[in-house]
């Protein structure tokens, strides 16, 4: 995924564009570039590497003053992260500059068509093809917005395109299909961007763009059409968070800040969902209770951390609703010819709401007649817009590439959905739902308690900083927590780490255990059933083979003490709610290990915050 911004208005365009790119650098940082039109016509600068490299270039070769411009920070798809492949790309005549997020799947045929006309290319990118096509239209006398519409109708794949024409001043035209684009409406100035963080310091009034739409902006306003030029209804909304939420707030990393925002994020996600009559309400639910009552299967589809949140949710949803609940990797889902009927309820989980694999799974599910509920943290993003119902998490912007508060609020939102379904289907009485809700509402304070105990985790990170491989074990809802803990370590510490069901280790993976291998074990609460004792046995198995056992166990659990080299204590909670606590030390551990290793925790190598390509 990439970060894109366009600006037109009275401010110095270069500053607005560069500051906007800085706020979106988490979306991709393989290269960065800018194009402005001012006193010296169209000027562009672009450099491989992080934004800082472009800023160095701009210091060495300043741009002239300009009132409109576009910018791009790239996560490379077609063509390596080089200066030549960096956006913006210019048309042959040099009039048009264009930036792009996504993948144009038919770019090779279009490139061949242009080459047959004698057009030369400077890069290996699909984006340059779009720039040349728009340029060809404009050179032929087309209005920039008409040129954009003509070109978009020829493109296949996913794209957000933003373009300017040196000879059509104070105008920027943008288009989107399967890729994010939002309009920022200022006073006498306008913005287009991949997400609101790019312009939130100037305005919190935004406009949601729909599928296959083109927006034409100038300082006095904007016009949205479809690809045929017919006016499209605009969807203005007010952004409910401010710039400070997108700043680090004194933390070294956004990730660390977001770990510590989790008490509030979970509290905000639960807020106002349970009315005084003990009735749960969700956000936009456009699915009738009759349909929910006839649901005979739930399928959760997601990627990465969101998938692990779904794995946690499965246990609660099945327990509360007695509906079979499958959890699927979104990129696998539609290719395995899944059994989906109008009585299937598909639940998608996505922090960004733009993950292409998940979006394509949503479309497939709806084509099969299923109803789709989106659990999402990004208002106005594509996945909720294409779903039948939405349950927004209220975590605030999550900037760190490694998801933390996104995960905890996804689990909390899934629990709300599970309780709502149990309420609608009558599989749990009101007082039972109230009991679970009461415990859920007590979790923010317990999450804070876990955070207050982080010193032991920080010390452990220092002790284990030389580890070459770390294993994570858990049973029941502890197993997805083990998977999430391993993913965090992979993502930001670049360490080999693997999560296993604790009972599965003896079927092969235990061969990985050697003297000193760090093994984290999530121990379920005592007293529920033999699950606790089974996990104790698993700890003994690995310890007998030399493992260094780091045990996450609830306060007062003395049974673990003989087998634990390190105990990380958790406040008491019921089995299903323990993931909201057990995950936190694993997040803190990964963040600290990566920091000690000198890694860029917020922008780890090879990754991007939201993967908007399949
Ligand atoms: C999580 O730390 C990763 N950044 C990644 O696995 C992420 O959860 C996944 O790409 C899904 O993103 P989404 O929630 O925005 O759809």
> Is 47 one of the catalytic residues?
no
For ligand 1, whether the C-beta of 309 sits within 6 Å is no
Q: Which residues, 6+ apart, have CB-to-CB distance to 137 below 8 Å?
A: 146, 147, 150, 151
- What residues are paired with 191 via a beta bridge? 7, 184
If you take atom 4 of ligand 1, which residue's CA is the nearest one?
A: 402
Instruction: Tell whether 602 is covered by a domain.
Output: no
Quote the ligand 1 centre to 305 CA distance (angstroms): 5
Q: Which of 2, 303, 325, 591 is catalytic?
A: 2
Domain check: are 357 and 497 in the same one?
no
Quote the ligand 1 centre to 16 CA distance (angstroms): 28
For ligand 1, whether the C-beta of 352 sits within 6 Å is yes
Q: Which of 47, 405, 488, 609 is catalytic?
A: 609
Question: What rounded mean pLDDT belongs to the chain?
Answer: 93
Identify the domain boundary among 186, 214, 246.
246
pLDDT at position 250 over 80: no
Whether residue 323 contacts residue 295, with contact meaning beta carbons closer than 8 Å, is answered with yes
What average pLDDT does range 459-475 have in this prediction?
Answer: 96
Domain containing residue 571: CATH number: 3.40.50.10490
Domain check: are 293 and 388 in the same one?
yes
pLDDT at position 548 over 80: yes
Instruction: Tell whether 604 is covered by a domain.
Output: no
Nearest atom of ligand 1 to the alpha carbon of 611: 10
Domain check: are 20 and 121 in the same one?
yes
pLDDT at position 285 over 90: no
What average pLDDT does range 60-81 have in this prediction?
Answer: 87
For ligand 1, whether the C-beta of 403 sits within 6 Å is yes
If you take atom 5 of ligand 1, which residue's CA is the nearest one?
A: 304
pLDDT at 352: 93
Domain check: are 368 and 478 in the same one?
no
Domain check: are 540 and 584 in the same one?
yes
Quote the ligand 1 centre to 306 CA distance (angstroms): 6
For ligand 1, whether the C-beta of 402 sits within 6 Å is yes
Instruction: Tell whether 394 is covered by a domain.
Output: yes
Per-residue pLDDT of 396-453, as tens digits, reads 889 999 999 999 999 999 999 999 999 999 999 999 999 999 999 999 999 999 999 9
Instruction: Tell whether 601 is covered by a domain.
Output: no
Ligand 1 pocket mutation, candidates 610, 612, 613, 614, criterion most atoms within 8 A of CB: 610
For ligand 1, whether the C-beta of 601 sits within 6 Å is no
Domain check: are 18 and 62 in the same one?
yes
What average pLDDT does range 266-295 have in this prediction?
Answer: 83
What average pLDDT does range 36-47 have in this prediction?
Answer: 95
Domain check: are 473 and 408 in the same one?
no
Nearest atom of ligand 1 to the alpha carbon of 383: 16
Q: Strand, helix or coil at 539?
A: helix
Nearest atom of ligand 1 to the alpha carbon of 406: 14
Identify the domain boundary among 246, 266, 284.
246
Domain check: are 538 and 581 in the same one?
yes
For ligand 1, whether the C-beta of 181 sits within 6 Å is no
**Parallel/antiparallel/unpaired status of strands 548-554 and 182-185:** unpaired
Identify the domain boundary among 430, 452, 474.
452
pLDDT at position 81 over 90: no
More confident: 397 or 320:
320
pLDDT band at 77 (very low <50, low <70, confident <90, very high): low
For ligand 1, whether the C-beta of 493 sits within 6 Å is no
What average pLDDT does range 359-386 have in this prediction?
Answer: 92
Instruction: Tell whether 514 is covered by a domain.
Output: yes
Domain containing residue 40: CATH number: 3.60.20.10
For ligand 1, whether the C-beta of 132 sits within 6 Å is no
pLDDT at position 612 over 90: no
Q: Which residues, 6+ apart, have CB-to-CB distance to 563 below 8 Å?
A: 536, 539, 540, 543, 549, 551
> Is 2 one of the catalytic residues?
yes
For ligand 1, whether the C-beta of 604 sits within 6 Å is no
pLDDT at position 99 over 90: yes
pLDDT at position 565 over 90: yes
The domain total for the chain is 3
For ligand 1, whether the C-beta of 350 sits within 6 Å is yes
Q: Which of 2, 215, 211 is nearest to 101 (CA)?
A: 2
Domain check: are 127 and 186 in the same one?
yes
Quote the ligand 1 centre to 292 CA distance (angstroms): 28
pLDDT at position 329 over 70: yes
Q: Which of 224, 373, 228 is nearest to 295 (CA)?
A: 373
Q: Which domain holds residue 217?
A: 3-246
Q: What does the alpha-carbon distance between residue 463 and residue 603 come to, in Å, rounded to a whole number? A: 24
Instruction: Tell whether 79 is covered by a domain.
Output: yes
Nearest atom of ligand 1 to the alpha carbon of 487: 2
Domain check: are 208 and 73 in the same one?
yes
pLDDT band at 216 (very low <50, low <70, confident <90, very high): very high
Quote the ligand 1 centre to 393 CA distance (angstroms): 14
Ligand 1 pocket mutation, candidates 327, 355, 601, 613, criterion most atoms within 8 A of CB: 355
pLDDT at position 528 over 90: no
pLDDT at 288: 86
DSSP 469-514: EEEEEE-TTHHHHHHHHHHHHHHHH--EEEEEEGGGGGGTGGGG--
Whole-angstrom CA distances from 237 to 182, 183, 259 are 10, 10, 28
Pinpoint the alpha helices (H) of 271-341: 289-294, 304-321, 330-333
Domain check: are 325 and 372 in the same one?
yes
pLDDT at 614: 79
Domain check: are 385 and 491 in the same one?
no
Instruction: Tell whether 607 is covered by a domain.
Output: no
pLDDT at 280: 79
If you take atom 9 of ligand 1, which residue's CA is the nearest one?
A: 304
pLDDT at 249: 74
For ligand 1, whether the C-beta of 305 sits within 6 Å is yes
For ligand 1, whether the C-beta of 612 sits within 6 Å is no
Quote the ligand 1 centre to 307 CA distance (angstroms): 8
Nearest atom of ligand 1 to the alpha carbon of 305: 8
For ligand 1, whether the C-beta of 304 sits within 6 Å is yes
Axis crossing angle, helix 430-452 with helix 454-463, rounded to the nearest 10:
60
Q: Is 132 exposed, middle or buried (0-12, 13-18, 19+ CB in 10 A)?
A: buried
Instruction: Tell whether 541 is covered by a domain.
Output: yes
Nearest atom of ligand 1 to the alpha carbon of 407: 8
Highest mean pLDDT among 230-244, 285-299, 427-441: 427-441
């Amino acid at each position: 995924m990439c970060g894109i911004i366009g600006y037109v208005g009275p401010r110095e365009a270069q500053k607005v564009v560069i500051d906007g790119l800085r706020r979106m650098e988490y979306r991709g940082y393989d290269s960065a570039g800018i194009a402005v039109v001012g006193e010296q016509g169209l000027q562009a600068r672009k450099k491989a590497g992080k934004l800082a490299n472009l800023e160095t270039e701009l210091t060495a070769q300043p741009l002239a003053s300009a009132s409109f411009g576009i910018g791009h920070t790239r996560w490379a798809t077609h063509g390596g992260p080089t200066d030549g492949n960096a956006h913006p790309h210019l048309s042959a005549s040099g009039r048009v500059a264009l930036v792009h997020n996504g993948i144009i799947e038919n770019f090779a045929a279009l490139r061949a068509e242009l080459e047959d006309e004698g057009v030369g290319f400077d890069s290996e990118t699909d984006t340059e093809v779009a720039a040349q096509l728009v340029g060809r239209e404009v050179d032929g006398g087309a209005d920039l917005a008409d040129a954009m519409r003509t070109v978009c109708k020829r493109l296949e794949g996913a794209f957000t395109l933003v373009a300017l024409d040196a000879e059509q001043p104070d105008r920027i035209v943008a288009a989107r299909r399967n890729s994010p684009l939002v309009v920022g409406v200022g006073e006498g100035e306008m913005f287009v961007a991949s997400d609101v963080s790019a312009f939130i310091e100037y305005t919190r009034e935004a406009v949601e763009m729909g599928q296959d739409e083109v927006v034409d902006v100038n300082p006095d306003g904007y016009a949205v059409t479809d690809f045929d030029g017919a006016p499209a209804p605009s969807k203005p909304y007010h952004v409910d968070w401010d710039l400070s939420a997108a700043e680090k707030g004194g933390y070294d990393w956004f990730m660390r800040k977001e770990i510590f925002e989790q008490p509030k994020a979970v509290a905000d996600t639960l807020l106002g969902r349970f009315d005084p009559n003990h009735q749960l309400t969700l956000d936009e639910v456009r699915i009738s209770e009759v349909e929910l009552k006839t649901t005979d299967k739930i399928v959760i589809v997601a990627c990465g951390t969101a998938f692990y949140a779904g794995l946690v949710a499965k246990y609660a949803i099945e327990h509360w609703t007695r509906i079979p609940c499958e959890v699927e990797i979104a990129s696998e889902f539609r290719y395995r010819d899944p059994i989906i009927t109008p009585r299937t309820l598909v639940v998608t989980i996505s922090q960004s709401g733009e993950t292409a694999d998940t979006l394509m799974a949503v479309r497939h599910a709806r084509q099969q007649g299923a109803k789709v509920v989106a659990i999402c943290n990004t208002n106005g993003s594509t996945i909720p817009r294409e779903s039948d119902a939405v349950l927004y998490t209220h975590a605030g912007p999550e900037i760190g590439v490694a998801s933390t508060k996104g995960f905890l609020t996804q689990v909390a939102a899934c629990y709300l959905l599970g309780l709502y379904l149990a309420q609608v289907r009558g599989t749990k009485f009101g007082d039972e739902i109230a009991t679970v809700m009461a415990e859920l509402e007590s979790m923010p304070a317990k999450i804070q308690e876990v955070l207050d105990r982080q010193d032991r985790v920080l010390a452990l990170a220092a002790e284990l900083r030389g580890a070459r491989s770390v294993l994570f074990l858990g049973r029941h809802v502890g197993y997805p927590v083990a998977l999430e803990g391993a993913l965090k370590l992979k993502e930001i510490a670049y360490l080999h780490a693997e999560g296993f069901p604790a009972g599965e280790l003896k079927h092969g993976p235990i061969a990985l255990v050697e003297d000193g291998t760090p093994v984290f074990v999530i121990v379920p609460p005592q007293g529920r059933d033999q699950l606790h004792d089974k996990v104790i046995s698993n700890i003994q198995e690995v310890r007998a083979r030399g493992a260094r056992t780091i045990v996450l166990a609830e306060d007062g659990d003395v049974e673990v003490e003989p087998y634990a080299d390190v105990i990380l204590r958790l406040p008491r909670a019921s089995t299903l709610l323990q993931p909201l606590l057990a995950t936190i030390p694993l997040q803190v551990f990964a963040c600290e290990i990566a920091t000690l290793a000198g890694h860029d925790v917020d922008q780890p190598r090879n990754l991007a915050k939201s993967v908007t390509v399949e």
